[in-house]
Structures are given as structure tokens and as C-alpha cells.
Amino acid sequence: MLDSLFDDVKRMNKRQFIYQVLSFGMIVSSALMIWKGLMVVTGSESPIVVVLSGSMEPAFHRGDLLFLTNYPEEPVRVGEIVVFKVEGRDIPIVHRVLKLHEKNNGTVKFLTKGDNNSVDDRGLYAQGQLWLTKKDVVGRARGFLPYVGMVTIYMNEYPKFKFAVLACLAVYVLVHRE
Amino acid sequence: MYSVLTRGNGILTYTLSVLACLTFLCFLSTLTVDYRTAAQMNTVKVVVKNIADYGVSREKNDLGYLTFDLKTDLSSLFNWNVKQLFLYLTAEYITPANELNQVVLWDKIILRGENAILDFKNMNIKYYFWDDGNGLKGHNNVTLTLSWNIIPNAGLLPNIGAIGQHSFKFPTDYTQTRV
């Protein structure tokens, strides 16, 4: 198996090898383009997120995938699932809006809670922060796909697994001939 | 030619594409379903107090409290692509301070297969009904609505309002006793 793989490389001339490298570059850049394109279409800085905790069970489990939008003209309303960032925490949180107050000048403040948590999120917010505002929101959950995010969770938990997968893919793309 | 690796690769790819295709069809099959239905609700006891929420500040705010009746049949909302309903009862009102206030008073998770015919009498609210200020005393138009968020096996996550709502008034005096 491996011998036959490297036979392919040996039989390649310089041009063919450069072609393989370029096509590898194409794959990487098109993935990047799709991600950035989704950011433009959805208005969210992170259009797809993986659920990392069980705080929204039984709706969302660890490893489920959420598709977000964040259109400024669509108002936040109670009962929606928002993904927000809190100062001092790296990982965005996926929770449901529990209370909302909108002032006459359009400023909104709201409080969130996880379906599986018994108390609201004031304990999770930054010190002294009582409400979330629009600028904290990364996106609103619009679509749901179960289990798919498990791959990225494994990759983050076992970095060796991640490098192994990446290395295999890179070798395959570079070495494999159409 | 057909090594274990190529066979394994073939099986894995085929399984994954069949699963992806089935999931997508499942999503498509319920894309146009109308998830609206009727609900009747009513308030039984309504009181308002003026006390401090020490978790937030020392200032006194209006705290509403109520019990409610709720009657609805949601069993028609379930299909093969509805894993769970998240029901929530919202109080919506306008105050001089805020042009829109929405407070969830009560919620309930109904998984597929669980009883979805609800008939509650004199239920207590689950969350505190704090106003953002002192806008509840004597408020004469607070609207109670029931909504649900549909959690599918795979697909969209719509929030849908029930047909039917209830408006109620708060008393013009604060209650001094414990409720």
C-alpha cells in the first residue's frame, strides 16, 4: 500500500509535483473562502458552532452543530437561542433568552438561561454584569444538526489525533494522483 | 486492488453519504409543516409587590406574581422530525421606561412520546416577574402568550406563537403580605 503510494511520487516529474501542491493549496483556500463567505451571508462572526456543554440538554447535546445568523435588523426576542461571548471567557455560550427590556432609543438588554440549568446566567457573566446587549451576541441559532461536531471535539481534546488526521489528509492529497 | 483499507474506505464513505442524504430528506420532509395551534390561558391570582432584588441592586423594583390556567393540546405538533418542544409562557407589556418588556414566567420541555395534552389549573409561575423599574403597579394591559421552540432531529429551529392570548391588569396597590 505505502510502497505503491510513494511509487506515484517517484514517477511524478517536477511539473506534476507542483500541480499536486497547487491543488492542495486550492483545497485549503476554498475551505477558507466558504467559511468567510458564510460569515458574509449570515452576518455572524462564527456561522457554525459546536455545542460544548450539556447546559441545553435535552435539546442540544455535546457535539451537536448549530447554524447561526446575526442580522442586525432582526430583533432579539425572548425564547430565542443566542450564542454570546462573555468577557474573560474564551468559549462562547449557547443559551436561551429569558427576559428582555427594550428602551425607546432601541437599546436592548436581556438575560439568558440554559434549559438544563436551574438558575439564570448572571453567575456566568463578567463580574458586575447583569445584562447582555447586542454587542455580546455572536449569533442566533437557526439550524441544528446532531453529532457532527463530535469530530472537532475529539480533535481539540486529543491534539495528536488532530495532527494525525491533518497529516494523513495532506499526504493523501499531495501523493495521490488523479 | 481491493485491500482492507480501500474496502473500509468505501464502506465508510457510502454509509456517511447515505446518512447525510437521509438526514437531508428528513429535514426537507418537514420544511413546510404548519406548527401553529390554539391555546387557552387565564390568570387566576395577580398581585404586585415593591421590594429590592438584592442580586441586582438595592433599589426597590416591582415584582409581579400570578397563578394561571393553561389548556392546550400540542400532540398534533409532533412528527418524525420533532425531537422536543420547548414551551414558554411570556408576559409582554409596555412601560414608560421601556417600549418593550418580555419576561418568561414559566417554561416546560416536552419530549416526543411524552404527554402533550396540557390542562393546568392555578399553576405557579416558575421565574420571578421582576420589572425593570416600577412599571407593574396598576398596569392595565399585560399580555400573556404561549410560544414554543421546536427542536428537530435535524433542521430549522422555529419559534412559534400559539393562537390565542390573554390580557390582564395588575392591582393598583402593592401587596404587603408574603405571597
Higher pLDDT, A178 or A36: A36
What percent of chain A stands above pLDDT 90?
66
A114-145 residue pLDDT tens: 999 999 999 999 998 999 999 999 999 999 99
Residue B138 has pLDDT above 90, yes or no: yes
Q: Which residue has the cell 459546536?
A: A50
CB B168 within 8 A of CB B46: yes
CB neighbourhood size of A35 (10 A) = 12
Residue A20's pLDDT is what? 83
Adjacent-strand bridge partners of A178: none
Phi/psi of residue A123, nearest 5 degrees:
-70, -20
Residue A77 sits at the chain B interface (C-beta within 8 Å)? yes
Question: CB B159 to CB A96 under 8 A?
Answer: no
Binned at pLDDT 50, 70 and 90, residue A106 comes out as: confident
HEC assignment per residue over A25-90: HHHHHHHHHHHHHHHHHHCCCCCEEECCCCCCCCCCCCCCEEEEECCCCCCCCCCCEEEECCCCCC
Residue A172's pLDDT is what? 79
Q: At residue B86, what is the residue type? A: F
Binned at pLDDT 50, 70 and 90, residue A21 comes out as: confident
Binned at pLDDT 50, 70 and 90, residue B2 comes out as: confident
Mean pLDDT along residues B14-38: 95
Binned at pLDDT 50, 70 and 90, residue B179 comes out as: low
Residue A2 has pLDDT above 80, yes or no: no
Residue A119's pLDDT is what? 93
Residue A9 has pLDDT above 70, yes or no: no
**Terminal Cα distance for chain B, rounded:** 78
CB A110 within 8 A of CB A131: yes
Helix (H) or strand (E) holding B68: strand B60-73
Question: CB A1 to CB B3 under 8 A?
Answer: yes
Residue B159's pLDDT is what? 96
Binned at pLDDT 50, 70 and 90, residue A8 comes out as: low
Alpha carbons within 13 A on the beta-carbon side of B168: 24
Reduce the DSSP state of residue A164 to 3 states and report it. helix
Question: What does the alpha-carbon distance between residue A104 and residue A116 come to, in Å, rounded to a whole number?
Answer: 33
Mean pLDDT along residues B52-62: 87
Helix (H) or strand (E) holding B123: strand B117-124
Q: B149, B150, B153: which to substitute to probe chain A, counting the most A Cβ within 10 Å?
A: B149
Higher pLDDT, A48 or A20: A48
Q: Which residues of A touch B149 (CB under 8 A)?
A: 79-81, 96
Question: What does the alpha-carbon distance between residue A52 and residue A83 come to, in Å, rounded to a whole number?
Answer: 12
Residue A100 sits at the chain B interface (C-beta within 8 Å)? yes
Q: Which residues of B touch A102 (CB under 8 A)?
A: 98-101
Of A34-48, A49-63, A149-163, B6-20, which gets the smallest average pLDDT? A149-163
Question: CB B152 to CB A144 under 8 A?
Answer: yes
Question: CB B153 to CB A146 under 8 A?
Answer: yes
Question: What does the alpha-carbon distance between residue A3 and residue B33 come to, in Å, rounded to a whole number?
Answer: 55
Mean pLDDT along residues A14-37: 91
Compare CB distances from A58 to B55, B84, B132 and report the shortest one's residue: B84
Reduce the DSSP state of residue B30 to 3 states and report it. coil
Average pLDDT, chain A: 90
Question: CB B99 to CB A102 under 8 A?
Answer: yes
Question: What does the alpha-carbon distance between residue B37 and residue B43 come to, in Å, rounded to a whole number?
Answer: 20
**How do strand B60-73 and strand A65-69 relate by DSSP bridges?**
unpaired
Residue A1 has pLDDT above 60, yes or no: no
Residue A4 has pLDDT above 70, yes or no: no
CB neighbourhood size of A143 (10 A) = 16
ipTM: 0.90
CB B127 within 8 A of CB B65: no
Shortest CA distance to A109 belongs to which of A75, A88, A133?
A133
- Residues in Cβ contact with A169 at an 8 Å cutoff, skipping those fewer than 6 apart: none
Of A64-73, B8-17, B170-179, which gets the smallest average pLDDT? B170-179
Q: Which residues of B touch A98 (CB under 8 A)?
A: 103-104, 127
Q: Which residues of A touch B103 (CB under 8 A)?
A: 78, 98-100
Residue B1's pLDDT is what? 66
